């Protein structure tokens, strides 16, 4: 009994440490907030691919302007595809503990693809996402679900 108690006491901090490390990764579900209006727009699920890059898909649109919208302004393989389920983040790579870069992000309502960077902030509870074309950049802060 004493050995089991000792093992449990030793394991608890390790489990807590691994859980906090997982929470500090970009993997998970994020609520996107429109930087212009402050309104919640969608839920994006970010996952880590087998090659080590990160991608993100819209899993839910919150209050879409029309039912089942498609990306009619897209110019790549996503043209006229449903926005729900669409991969909007591609090829993102970790640049240390809390930063990601080297990927792209699609803004479906514009059909534009931006070079993108992401940074975990507020202890991993928020994700600052920015996209740039040339010197014009936009950013949003997403909230972990």
**Model confidence pLDDT, tens digit, residues 36-87:** 889 999 999 999 999 999 999 999 999 998 899 999 999 999 999 999 999 9
18, part of any domain: no
Q: Report d(CA 48, CA 25) in Å as an integer.
A: 10
Q: Report d(CA 86, CA 74) in Å as an integer.
A: 11
2, part of any domain: no
72, part of any domain: yes
In the predicted structure, residue 18 carries a pLDDT above the cut 50 = no
8, part of any domain: no
9, part of any domain: no
Q: What is the pLDDT of residue 6?
A: 42
In the predicted structure, residue 5 carries a pLDDT above the cut 60 = no
Task: Provide mean pLDDT across the span 5-33.
Answer: 60
Q: Report d(CA 65, CA 127) in Å as an integer.
A: 25
Question: Domain containing 59: what range?
Answer: 26-144
In the predicted structure, residue 19 carries a pLDDT above the cut 50 = no
Residue 30 sits at the vertex; the CA angle it makes with 90 and 32, to the nearest 5 degrees, is 85
The total number of structural domains in the chain stands at 1
Q: What is the pLDDT of residue 36?
A: 85
What is the CATH classification number for the domain harbouring 108?
2.40.128.520
């Amino acid at each position: 009994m004493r050995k089991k108690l000792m093992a449990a006491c030793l394991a608890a901090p390790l489990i807590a440490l691994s859980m906090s490390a997982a929470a500090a990764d970009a993997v998970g579900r994020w609520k996107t907030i429109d930087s212009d209006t402050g309104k919640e727009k969608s839920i994006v699920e970010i996952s880590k691919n087998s090659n080590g890059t990160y991608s993100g898909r819209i899993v839910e649109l919150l209050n879409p302007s029309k039912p089942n919208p498609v990306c009619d302004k897209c110019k790549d393989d996503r043209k006229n595809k449903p926005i729900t389920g669409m991969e909007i983040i591609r090829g993102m790579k970790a640049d240390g503990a809390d930063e990601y870069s080297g990927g792209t992000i699609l803004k479906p309502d514009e059909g534009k693809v931006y070079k993108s960077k992401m940074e975990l902030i507020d202890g991993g509870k928020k994700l600052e996402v920015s996209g740039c074309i040339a010197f014009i950049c936009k950013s949003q802060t997403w909230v972990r679900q």
